[in-house]
Amino acid sequence: MRKQNKNKKPFKKTLFIVATALVCLAGLFVILEKTNTINLVHKRVPPAQTATQDTKGEPQQPAANQSGASTTPANQNNPGDDKSTAAQPAASTPPKDPTGDFVSNYQPTLTAPRNLIESVCTTTPGAQCRISFTKDNTTKQLDPMTADKGGSAYWTWKLQDVGLTTGSWKITATATLNGKTVTANSPLRLEVKP
């Protein structure tokens, strides 16, 4: 009888070691999958892109505007920064169709204490971007901005600065470069509430 017990102890000890090793390997596998180090179970997720000197924050000067609305870019670097000149495409190249978050809030209210809205227009670097709002026969617009080296123009503004009133406004982004203009309409309307 004693011989049988002696044989069972090494077997139990070996089984415990093997089970522990398998659990550790499984845990390591899960960690490597979650951190995107290996991708045996899922597709590799590309790293998140963050803003760089090519995509946001270059000094931008608004162009002259007929509406007189006062808008400013979201972030600005120090004047005199060498990043202020956007790369210019060939003279015959039309701009890319504008894309981006034309407005950050599609249902703002005029009475909200902090009703700042951010707008982004992405197109060809160096193109002049404009975002306009149309209701009935009235059109209001943000000051035109030149797209940075990453091809984006940024605004931070208030409804009152542009003269928007309550109602449903159609949103249009326009990009102009080398005398050629392209436009894009937002699939959503800006619904301004009192």
pLDDT higher than 60, residue 75: no
β-pair partners for 145: 129
d(CA 120, CA 185): 13
Record the tokens describing residue 50, joined without a space.
């963050």
What rounded mean pLDDT belongs to the chain? 76
Name the pLDDT band for 43 (thresholds 50, 70, 90).
low
Name the pLDDT band for 17 (thresholds 50, 70, 90).
very high
Number of Cα atoms under 13 Å in the Cβ half of residue 160:
9
| pLDDT for the residue 20 | 93
